Amino acid sequence: MLNGKKILFAAGGTGGHINPALAVAGYIREHYPDAKILFAGTPNKMEATLVPTAGFDFTPIELSGFQRDMSLQGIKDNIVTVKKLLKALPRAKQIVKDFEPDVAIGFGGYVSGPVIRAAAKLGVPTAVHEQNAFPGVTNKMLAKKVDRVMITTPAAQDYFKAKHPTVVTGLPVRGEMLRADRDLSRAELGVDGRPLILSMGGSLGAKAINDAVKHMILSRYKDKNCYYLHATGSNGAGMIDELSKEIDLKENSHIMLREYINDMDRCMSAADLVICRAGASTISELQVMGKPSILIPYPYAAENHQYYNAKALSDFGAAITVCEKDFDVNSLAKAVYSVIYDEGKAVRMAQRAKEMGISDASEKLYKRMTQLVNKSI
């Protein structure tokens, strides 16, 4: 039971770290409203906005990651990072002392390092959660210090040298993703029985995905045998104007273009096939919703973790992985239509994705945190 307990979360940098932490915090707040929750994160990253917006207390800690670029600018940036780290260590210790948490859990990002390390040194029960199939540096370092390492996929197990056995919990996803109804979602989008292809490249967009999808639409839209719902991202918003000059979008309502998808639960539940990057949160949503996918891993992700995320799905038969260096309109169209026009394959991929999904991940993490508080790890 976490009623009346204090829980310290440390997560930052990207939505892939922050959103799962928010999902767990939301689960705890829903079931134990008397629990006191505090997030520690950097003041200039998205956690500084996302956490207060979700209604949780937030305390800042100034920190930045090390650059792997050994150019003169990279060296200068790393000197600044060292200076910030020297200040962050006592700041993290002060956060833990002031809040006096009953348990502290890190969800990755460099801010997790000093906060969870300080909590462990002060005798607070600690844990980390790893979202990716190939773990990040911070979590691998913390694994030797914390009381429990929780992972999203068994594929991450071999990379940890932890004090205690790792536990597969899955990756928490937002409740609305779990509750979304396919038939209702399709009705709300105005979609009939034809297949719906959902494609996206993240909030900023991905040029490679935008270009390939644009040419696929231009070459196939007259067939009107499927729907295309594509999010360009902010950097690719010009694609909407480009296509509207060549296609009458009012007359071709099976083509739906947006800059960003704010109703992902509706769009993904309605989709028959998803084309996207391979971030951990997206992967978990595909799994719990049982969606066949074509994954184009972001090639510059830290430790190439998106490739390993995608590979875990494709090796299990739940997805088709296409590396960006091999990705163009031809490889995309070939992969898309190999799924869309083969109902048996689409069903098998959906089933395999669903088998990989863990829909009660938030509850599993909550139970492990309760065990830590009760000293029954």
In this predicted structure, what is the pLDDT of residue 73?
63
Q: Residues 266-289: what's their mean pLDDT?
A: 95
Give the pTM. 0.79
Tell whether the model's pLDDT for residue 10 goes beyond 60.
yes
Sheet strands side by side (includes 126-130)? 57-60, 36-41, 6-10, 103-106, 126-130, 148-151, 167-168
204 confidence band (pLDDT: 50, 70, 90): confident
CB burial string 267-283: b at 16+ within 10 A, e below: bbbbbbbbbbbbbbbbb
Average per-residue pLDDT for the chain: 90
Least trusted range by pLDDT, from 11-15, 70-74, 101-105: 70-74
Chain CA centroid to CA 325, Å: 23
365 confidence band (pLDDT: 50, 70, 90): very high
In this predicted structure, what is the pLDDT of residue 46?
84
Q: Which two tokens stand for residue 250?
A: 């009012």
Tell whether the model's pLDDT for residue 222 goes beyond 70.
yes
202 confidence band (pLDDT: 50, 70, 90): confident
Which domains, from first to last, does the chain contain?
6-173+359-373 (3.40.50.2000), 176-356 (3.40.50.2000)
